[in-house]
Amino acid sequence: MNLLCLPPALLAFIAALPLAHAQYPPPASYQNILTSPVNPNVSVAYKQPTNGTCTTAFTTQKQYTGYISIPPYTLAPIQQNYSINTFFWFIEARQTPETAPLTIWLNGGPGSSSMFGLFNEVGPCEVVQMADGRYGTQMRTFGWDRASNILFIDQPNQVGFSYDSTTNASLDLFTNEIFEPPTPPDSQLPSFMYLNGTFGTASENDSRTYATTANTTQIAARATWHFLQTWLSTFSQYNPSTRPNVTTTSSSEPAGINLFTESYGGKYGPVFATYFEDQNTAIANGQLPSNSTLPIRLQSLGIMNGLVDDLIQDYYFPYYAYNNTYGIEIISQTDQLNALNLFSNQCQPAIQSCRMANQDLFGDNEQANQLCEAAQWTCNNLTSIATAHGYFPYDIRQKSPSPDPSAAYQEYLNQEDVLSAIGARVNYTESSPYVQQDFISTGDSIRGGLIEDIADLLKLGVRVALIYGDADFLVNWYGGQAIAYAVANSLPNYPFPTSVAASGAGIPPSYASGFANAGFAEIVVNDSYVGGAVKQYGNLSFSRVYDAGHFIPYYQPETAFQIFARVIMGTDLSTAADVDLSSFASNGTANATYTASAPPAPSPTCWVRNWNGSCSTSDTEAMQNGEGLIKYGMYVQNSDSITLPSTSVNAGIPGSPMSTTSSGSREAKASETTTTPLTGVYTATGTPTSSGGAAPTAVPGLDGRVGMILSGALLGAAVMI
């Protein structure tokens, strides 16, 4: 919103706030503003970002950013009395985008932006600091655009760049709270901790701060389905259903979309996928008009360190706290036994009470909401164990606060030239406490049924990949493995045997027996190391990624990419070999037993946009005393602590792209002595002798500093992103 368009009274009020820093986005402009091809009430506005905004491997790769605007009451019978303006960022695949698969990426939260995934995990570019302190972007070698077209969506409403109505307000960086209209800074905070900008309407000044967004995953699924109806019809050239399937080895299999999610995406993924498939059925049987509704068929569902079912996974919080990959005893064995007793006697019954209540899909039953929210708070004593003992819940190899991953991208996305380049109408915030509050108010995370949803997806032929980093406490790999077994065990009679072996066992085996008998095979990432272990039967797989925290692609980018590519291609996740998934089972050990030691702690960095996640108690005390300064989005207690890259860093910025490849060379310089191809998927022909992935690379230009995770807390522990 343009500041000059504000009412005079409000302008005068803002003028009286000289201590608050202003950072309003410039008026947004687009190359295309259209009516949805499938719904005349829905509009889409988009543009191609200015060259240099997000550096890709090849200059020929097209990008589109913009909004799809859904008017009130579109989601009826849901009480949606607010507008939904959903931001997206799309990037073409590096090769043959006209035939490449389409992958949708969703971060979790609830309330976390998928821009985090774009810039810190799987997108084509990453933010680096240049010699003059400014931020720009470089190409990410193992971005997932290497194998797929990829669409990042900020959802639900009020997340990231998405909003209901633009509103000028103040953001308190210390508490992550928004105040509307703009207000003077808290007297206990220096002015640099307050920013005036443009946001959605959710703020501390509302009687119900979260009234204009989804309050359950079921509502979010419906909003995203409506979004995709317009996106897939507007960008029909990228809709896999409109062209032959060239991704998988089975040429008879219809082309589909790949949905990959993370963290709270353990809820989003199964619910969204199930709703999409239900809508496909409604189209097929005539309940929805086929001439104005598009089927959204999923080919694969990937869940990375996902919270799928608390009734199963919460047990493994105390289990992992004492028995983990790295020999780190967060709690004593006595404390572990006490916590397991708490799970059995308090947490588990609370979850069951929630699930026995008369639940509705949209959070309208207040009694059920109260029971489910109460269960969240009861079980929080388990989920917050790591935080309570000073460990970083996203990576137990570190103590809190942690600088990983970097928050530099948040500074970059709030630069005026970047906001203008992508057509952003609001300032960027990584995580919305108001969306989180809304989901908490209905106890959304406690509600069940997702094991059954995943099992039904397997019956429909959807490939389901459960992928977990083994250094994560927040959604640890033991719990993820238990989810995989629960899904398999829910299918004791599927697939139906078509013949009988000499032993009397059915062929093919059911998921219950086939998955149980499959072994853990090594995930061969390249010629030099093994990045994890995978248990795979049919379309169901569970991967444990070595030396990776909650954000697997950040910690182990090459391993994460190879697993992703093999999932969407329908191959053996161990080697990328072509296999017949209708009968394939991995071969290996009965258990994944890899162990490792914790690496040295990274150098601290206090990111002002992630104060509570990256800044120390000493930083907070100094800041509240009015000491220190902000430079390049980082807080330092004295100017001598500021360091800039010692050598020139080549990076793209809006309007000034860095030199990349347009044709010919397909390699990028990875070090002084090695080169890494920019395209292709590794297929193993043998097994390296070494195990474990390489350590994550520090953000270029930050001299080893890597920082930030999140602001806020999930039920007093940590927000899931």
Name the helix (H) or strand (E) containing 457: helix 450-459
For the record, the structure tokens of 144 come out as 């997932």
For the record, the structure tokens of 18 come out as 């000289």
CB crowding 10-27: b at 16 or more within 10 Å, else e: eeeebeebeebbeebbee
- CB 279, CB 297: distance < 8 Å: no
Q: What is the chain's Cα-based Rg?
A: 24
168's CB contacts (< 8 A; 6+ apart) are 1, 3, 6, 10, 14, 24, 180, 181, 182, 196, 197, 198
- CB 363, CB 216: distance < 8 Å: yes
- Residues taking part in catalysis: 263, 472, 550
3-state DSSP call for residue 268? Answer: helix
* Alpha-helix runs per DSSP H in 1-141: 8-15, 115-117
Residue 681: other Cβ atoms inside 10 A: 15
From 143, 131, 136, select the one nearest 89 (Cα to Cα): 143
Burial class of residue 37, CB neighbours in 10 A (0-12, 13-18, 19+): middle
Residue with tokens 């992958």: 103
Strands (DSSP E) along 325-372, which ranges? none
3-state DSSP call for residue 411? Answer: helix
Q: Kindly state the DSSP code that residue 240 receives in the 8-state scheme.
A: G
Type of residue at 619? D
User: Quick one: how far is CA 660 from the chain centroid?
Assistant: 27
For the record, the structure tokens of 205 come out as 């000044």
* Alpha-helix runs per DSSP H in 190-264: 217-234
Give the separation between CA 363 and CA 213, rounded to whole angstroms: 12
Give the separation between CA 569 and CA 561, rounded to whole angstroms: 12
Looking only at Cα atoms, what is the longest distance across the chain?
86
Give the separation between CA 250 and CA 413, rounded to whole angstroms: 41
From 277, 283, 279, 281, select the one nearest 297 (Cα to Cα): 277
